[in-house]
Amino acid sequence: SAQIIDGKRIASERANVLRKRVTKFVAVNGAPPALAVVLVGSDPASAIYVRRKGEQCQAVGIESIQHRLPHDTTEASLLYLIAQLNRDAGVHGMLVQLPLPAHIGADKVLAAIDPDKDVDGFHVTNAGQLALGKPRLAPCTPLGCMLLLRELGTELRGKHAVVIGRSTIVGRPMAQLLLIADCTVTIAHRHTTDLAALCRAADIVVSAVGIPALVRGDWIRPGAIVIDVGINRVPDPRSGTGATRIVGDVAFEEAVGHAGAITPVPGGVGPMTISCLLENTLQAAELIEGRLAGTLG
Ligand code: NAD
């Protein structure tokens, strides 16, 4: 049976290392790295994510600045806040929680963020750097998946990786990072025919779709690595009370009998995403403060 990749444990080990790096940063710069998170509206899932980001920041000593704006915030006033945060020398990293309300253009908002503070890695400049094979700030979820793969210690060079999903926040940047790691990469999406056959040829399957049990156990080649990014809420059959639970895209109980290693949901990729957000924030802070020190003396 497969090795279960414990993202929760790996993220907590990384948090211990990060805490020490943050302490060192404070000693050198006199103030902690600071992450500004902007939430527009009251989407309950987004509110939970934003709260967790704040808690995790504080746990490693990063200052968390949260801006909660009402649902009817105009695009202009959001852009104004971003411009202020861009100028604020005390803010090193910034992200706008997605999805945004429909009346606000997400592309315009993401483009307004200073690429040097873009800890989500969604700005076109950072996406472009990644596509050129020279990542600066890369998206947190795919970065977290790469860390899990590295943690396994298996050679990635020459491995055939199948990435299911081509979104700009997960699938695409995931494929770019695997390419940088010298994998042979296939990107599958909603129009892909015979996904099963593609997966059966894969050494590594990364699924980022959002459909429970899309990937079946017999699609997994014996010994392959399975990274399940999907987060899906489904009725919990063990409870008669209409309770729900979270599952991934992979039929875990089936796949665990085929895979060499597999991430659970929850407790696999999820904790690594926040871990990478914190690391991106420290990286941005080190770059910004390093440059300031350079120009000032
Ligand atoms: P998205 O909806 O933007 O993209 C989904 C992708 O899946 C699309 O590219 C689409 O072409 C593809 N797809 C849809 N149906 C398919 C099918 N039948 N076969 C193959 N491909 C198909 O979603 P996203 O933002 O990329 O997120 C994907 C999943 O990952 C969601 O469940 C989301 O909740 C989860 N997620 C998890 C984390 C984390 O931290 N663990 C972070 C981000 C997203």
One fold for 29-115 and 140-269: yes
User: pLDDT tens digit string along 121-160?
Assistant: 999 999 999 999 999 999 999 999 999 999 999 999 999 9
Q: Which residues line ligand 1 at a C-beta cut-off of 6 Å?
A: 141, 164-167, 169-171, 188-190, 192, 195, 208-211, 229-232, 269-270, 273
- Residues 53, 56, 129, 203: which is the catalytic one? 53
Mean residue pLDDT across the chain = 97
Stretch 63-87: mean pLDDT, rounded?
A: 98
Helix axes 171-180, 124-131, angle to 10 degrees: 40
How far apart (Å, rounded) are the C-alpha atoms in residues 276 and 291? 22
CATH architecture of 140-269: 3-Layer(aba) Sandwich (3.40)
Q: What's the CA-to-centroid distance between 73 and ligand 1, angstroms?
A: 28
User: pLDDT tens digit string along 250-283?
Assistant: 999 999 999 999 999 999 999 999 999 999 999 9
- Residues 56, 97, 129, 283: which is the catalytic one? 97
Query: ipTM surpassing 0.95, yes or no?
Result: yes
pLDDT band at residue 239, thresholds of 50, 70 and 90?
confident
Does pLDDT of 46 surpass 80? yes
pLDDT band at residue 237, thresholds of 50, 70 and 90?
confident
Q: Return the percentage of the chain with pLDDT > 70, whole number.
A: 99
Phi-psi region of 190 (alpha: psi -120 to 50; beta: other; left: phi over 0): alpha
Domain boundaries, the chain: 29-115, 140-269
Does pLDDT of 22 surpass 70? yes
Question: Are 38 and 96 spatial neighbours (Cβ–Cβ below 8 Å)?
Answer: yes
Q: Which CATH class is domain 29-115?
A: alpha beta
Does pLDDT of 297 surpass 60? no
- Residues 114, 120, 203, 228: which is the catalytic one? 120
Point out the ligand 1 atom lying closest to the alpha carbon of residue 210.
Answer: 32
From residue 53, alpha-carbon distances to 10, 135, 140 in Å are: 17, 23, 12
Question: Are 268 and 2 spatial neighbours (Cβ–Cβ below 8 Å)?
Answer: no
Which residue's CA is the nearest one to ligand 1's atom 40?
Answer: 270
Residues in the chain: 297
Binding-site residues sit at 165-167, 231
